Amino acid sequence: MEIKANDSRLKSWVAVPPHSDFPIQNLPFGIFTTTQTKPRAGVAIGGHVLDLAYLHEHGFLDGLGMPAGIFNQKYLNDFLALGRKKGREVRERVSELLRHDNDKLKSHQVAALVPMEKVQMLLPVRIPNYTDFYSSEEHATNVGTMFRDPKNALLPNWKHLPVGYHGRASSIVVSGTPLHRPKGQTKPADAEFPVFSPTQKLDFELEVAFITCAETTLGSHITTKEAEENIFGLVLFNDWSARDIQTWEYVPLGPFLAKNFGSTISPWIVTLDALEPFRVKGPEQFPHVLPYLSFEGNRNFDIALEVLIQPEKGEATTVSRSNFKYMYWNMAQQLTHHTVNGCNIQVGDMYASGTISGPSPGSYGSLLELTWNGQRPLHLSDGSERKFLLDNDTVIIKGHCDKDGVRIGFGACAGKVLPAL
Ligand code: MN
């Protein structure tokens, strides 16, 4: 698909620092507030946020059929509900207005552009539903090797369907929101009975989540061909996990309190349109999938991912480098499988990939794998060791794409671990 706003030659009259996540080729959507303004929609450009409500009120979006007040809201849901085509049109218009040879918006820049230091980013969508998949073969293999049987690490269903579970939407928070170490039941290996205490094995999970922009009716389904038209964009996602609680609770129905105490997302929704140039072929799928899961074209995306741990008084250390392209099951297959039984989707639903581990130990997407369940501690740059997360550690996930001199990124997905309450 040819999208003008993605042209690598485009330059903006707004200064974009080198290595910024937000050049004119990105233009992700988010919700922000300042001390002067109520929550409203914005687009990131360089070190600024472009105020969409201002653009709308001053006629810069005329002709696009945007309903009154659509950007003057706490969430982007109503905008997303207009569909991907409308989102594409707004992104195209914003791109035109920001181009170096377009003067129209320049005289309004003081009012329309807010420096990022002056904004607080909020949760971009009201999230009706959250699903977490388990779609990285390397992650599933590592976990299966550790907890079951190295020879049969993948369960028999794994290569036939994208395994997933329904998570908790209410506890998803935006980057910068601290979380308390959760408490729960665990059963120490040598104990007869479980104990109740703060988790001793708090972990992160490196994930990417897609957000849907359509409402379907119960009983209908989405095909792999249609799937991406229902996906507005992507955010980085930290699916915090308490491994000791998980080990005790997860059989037979899967994750519950080990996961639902919190998940953190990056604040900017990077559109699938902006990611178009970064499509790549995914891993070969064998055995062949059932016909309803077959697809055409490149459905994976080359997004370099990084996880850093920053102790209370120290520098951040990179502990993992992975890539979204490693996903065995792609988003089109995930959404198709999710709805094949007639399950309806809603605007703002969050669908996380599952932990994204790559082939090498440095590319594993959780401490569980990086330290092999605590057996091989990591060393941070301040000389300290980590088996799992300590109180006051901040976990930062970053992600970016890079091609033809264009680098687009997601902004940080960061969260600090506070002591248990
Ligand atoms: Mn997960």
Is 137 within a domain?
A: yes
Is 10 within a domain?
A: no
Strands 206-212 and 231-238: antiparallel
The CA 76 to ligand 1 mean position distance, Å, reads 24
Is 13 within a domain?
A: no
DSSP 224-245: HHHHGGGEEEEEEEE--EEHHH
Phi, psi torsion values for 325, nearest 5 degrees? -70, -15
Is 327 within a domain?
A: yes
Same domain, residue pair 224 and 341 = yes
Residue among 37, 31, 90 at smallest CA distance from 60: 90
Same domain, residue pair 155 and 301 = yes
The CA 350 to ligand 1 mean position distance, Å, reads 12
Distance (Å, rounded) from C-alpha 245 to C-alpha 351? 23
Instruction: Read off the CATH number of the domain in which 171 is found.
Output: 3.90.850.10
**pLDDT(2) > 80:** no
**For residue range 210-226, what is the model confidence (pLDDT) as tens digits?**
999 999 999 999 999 99
The CA 406 to ligand 1 mean position distance, Å, reads 30
**For residue range 356-370, what is the model confidence (pLDDT) as tens digits?**
999 999 999 999 999
Is 16 within a domain?
A: no
> Of 101, 122, 143, which residue sits at a domain end?
122
Any residues with CB less than 8 A from the CB of 44 and at least 6 apart, and which? 21, 22, 26, 27, 28, 30, 50, 116, 268, 411
> Of 106, 122, 138, which residue sits at a domain end?
122
Same domain, residue pair 113 and 162 = no
**Structural domain of residue 296, as residue ranges?**
130-418
Same domain, residue pair 144 and 102 = no
Same domain, residue pair 103 and 142 = no
Is 2 within a domain?
A: no
Residue numbers annotated as active site? 139
Is 1 within a domain?
A: no
The tally of domains found in the chain comes to: 2
**For residue range 242-285, what is the model confidence (pLDDT) as tens digits?**
999 999 999 999 999 999 999 999 999 999 999 999 999 999 99
Same domain, residue pair 170 and 81 = no
Distance (Å, rounded) from C-alpha 11 to C-alpha 25? 9
> Of 122, 142, 157, which residue sits at a domain end?
122
Phi, psi torsion values for 169, nearest 5 degrees? -80, -30
pTM of the predicted structure, to 2 decimals: 0.98
Average pLDDT over residues 320-328: 98
For residue 357, the tally of other CB atoms under 10 A from its CB is 27
Residue among 29, 30, 22, 24 at smallest CA distance from 4: 24
The CA 85 to ligand 1 mean position distance, Å, reads 30
